[in-house]
Chain A
Amino acid sequence: MPAYSKAVMDHFENPRNVGRIEDADGIGEVGNARCGDIMKMYLKIDDDVITDVKFNTFGCGAAIATSSMATELIKGKTIDEVLTLTNKAVVEALDGLPPLKVHCSVLAEEAVKSALVDYYNKSGRAKPKALEDFKVNGDAHDAPTNS
C-alpha cells in the first residue's frame, strides 16, 4: 500500500463535508466503478458563492481524502475563485500524494467543475469561459455494473 501523508490520513479518517444536499444547486459525478473511484459532489450556490458543499465517494484512501480536501478548499469561495482550483492545489494541501494516486486529485477537481457545469445548466445562466469546454476524463454516470 502507498505511504500516505498525515494530512491524507486525517482527511481519510475524518472526512469533512460528507453527505448529500437534497436541494443542491449543482451536482457533479465523475469517475467510474470499473476503475474503482467515483466522486459525487453537491453544491449550494448563492450569489456566486459556494455556501455549502457535500460529497460522497467510492474509492481508495486518496480518493476519499482528495474529495474531502477539495470541499474544504471551495467552501465559502466565489465561483471565480473555485474555477482557479487545480488538482495541484489539492495535492499540496494534502502534503503530497503517492504518484499512483495523483489521478484521485484530478478526479476531485473534475467533480467540482462538473457540479458547477450542472449548476449553470440547471440555472440557464451562461457558463463562464473556463467551463465552456470542460470535459471529464472518466465516463461519469456510467452504470456501475457494466462489465
Chain B
Amino acid sequence: MRTLLFRSLIATPLSQPVPKPAADALSAALGAQLDRAAQRRLGRSVAIRALDAGSCNGCELELNALGNAFYDLERFGLRFVASPRHADVLLVTGPVTANMREALERTYQAMPGPKWVVAAGACAIDGGIFAGSYAVHGGAGAVLPVDLRLPGCPPRPLELLQGLLALMEPSSASRPSARAWSDLRLG
C-alpha cells in the first residue's frame, strides 16, 4: 500500500481542466435557462441530491464517474449529499415511473427552499424512449418544476459537469479563482 500511495504522490494529477471555451458557450446556453437569482443564491457551493426516478442506470454510472480523479467534482464546490434536507438541488435521472412518483415528490418536499431541479438525461427531460408507457408519467417536468435540462443518453460526465457549473455563479468556468485552481492542479 505504501508504494501505491507513494506512486500517487509523484504521479501527475489526472484531473481535467475546468471546461474551456467551447464549454463556456454551452455553460452560457445552460446558464441562460436559469434565472440569475438562482445562480447568485447558490454562489459557489451546491449540495445535490441525486434521485433515480426509474432510469436504466446508465445515467447513474456517469453521475458516479463525476467523483473519479478525472472530473473530481468536489473541487468545484459541487457535492452529492445523502439527505434531501441538506440539498439545494434535486438532480433527477430516468423517466418518472408510476411506481417512483410518490418517492420523487416526497424527496422534493423534504428539501428546504430555495431549491432547484435538474433533469439529467433524455429520459428525465421528457421520458425519452420510455415516454408513452402505461408505467411512466414522462420526464421530471411531469411532476416537478424543472430549472435545468441536461441532454444525453446518458450525458457524458463532462457535460454533466458543465451543466452543474452553470448552476453556480454566471460564467463560473472563466472565473479567475476557478482558473487558478485548475492551473494549479494541472501543474
Indicate whether A and B interact: no
Residues of B within 8 A of A (CB): none
